Amino acid sequence: MRERQFISVLLVCAILGALSFFVFQQRNSGVKLTPLSCTFLKVGKADAIVLESGGRAMVIDTGEEDDGQELVDFLKNRNISLVDVLIITHYDKDHVGGADTLIANIPVARVLIPDYPGSSTEYTDFMAALKSASIEPEAVNTSLSFSFGDALVRVDPPKSYEIPEGAIEYDNNFSLLATVTHGSNRLLFTGDIEKERINELVSEAQLPECSFIKFPHHGIYNTAQEDLLKLIKPRYSVICSSDKHPAEKKTLELLKKYGVDVLETRHGKITLISDGLKLELHQKVRH
């Protein structure tokens, strides 16, 4: 178990018009670092995540096609004129759909993609946008690491997973994993990994303990998730969900069983803040 000098969960409910605020906070020992923020946009059952630190910006997935402009507007409102790194975890439409709009509106310095062939219309549009912007994406077929402000980012592809014979849908288990280490806080972004990929990670003990997990596959339950939680021992989690497709009851019960505090984007945009010493999650909830 990770040693904590102080752990608190703070719930703040303030009605401002139709808004409420929720805050989770965790304190750990460590040195003072440039803060890291991570925003999970409310874009339905889709992932659109923006990390910021030291004047740099990284985007993990871009939601569906109709979410692209919302992502661009968010970045511009944050005065972000350059995306340093764009990670597309996999080519499902609810992860790559808004990428063409992002690339057409804001310069992107580096693009990391999974190493498998896409087939969707959204994938084709994404590739066309990259070509138009003269961006050569990097297909990740082995683990790589890079600095992001005072954080270290590690991106991992699957090691042994292969497309099952006759499979029609196989994108999820090719998801790139991103682990962001910021002081004593470690954040895990899982794309849509399912049972087979989780079993690979657990059997090879590929993951360290993490303070936070972006829960896989929009909160859809599978039996391997318990082994994942046992391995990484997270304290907090975010599920990218919608009112039509909320996290499954079994998933929420599992997270509760292991003492994980969880927020869902279906209730509103979520912001995670790390200063290397503590971890906070804030949410604006629209009623």
pLDDT digits (tens, 9 = 90+) for 241-277: 999 999 999 999 999 999 999 999 999 999 999 999 8
Determine the Cα–Cα distance for residues 138 and 128; give it in Å rounded to an integer. Answer: 15
The conformational region for residue 37 under phi > 0 = left, psi -120 to 50 = alpha, else beta, is beta
Going along the chain from its start, the domains and CATH numbers come out as: 6-161+168-286 (3.60.15.10)
Using N-to-C axis directions, what is the helix angle for 249-257 and 225-232, rounded to 10°?
30
Please tell me which residue, 6 or 173, carries the higher pLDDT value: 173
Mean pLDDT of the chain, nearest integer = 88
The string of pLDDT tens digits covering residues 36-55 is: 999 999 999 999 999 999 99
Which helix or strand (DSSP H or E) is residue 202 part of?
Answer: helix 195-203
- Say if pTM beats, i.e. exceeds, 0.75: yes
Burial 266-277 (b: 16+ CB within 10 A, else e): bbbbbbbbbbbb
Here the tokens at position 218 are: 């929009």
Confidence check: pLDDT of 203 > 90? no
Determine the Cα–Cα distance for residues 43 and 34; give it in Å rounded to an integer. Answer: 28
Confidence check: pLDDT of 221 > 50? yes
pLDDT score recorded for residue 70: 98
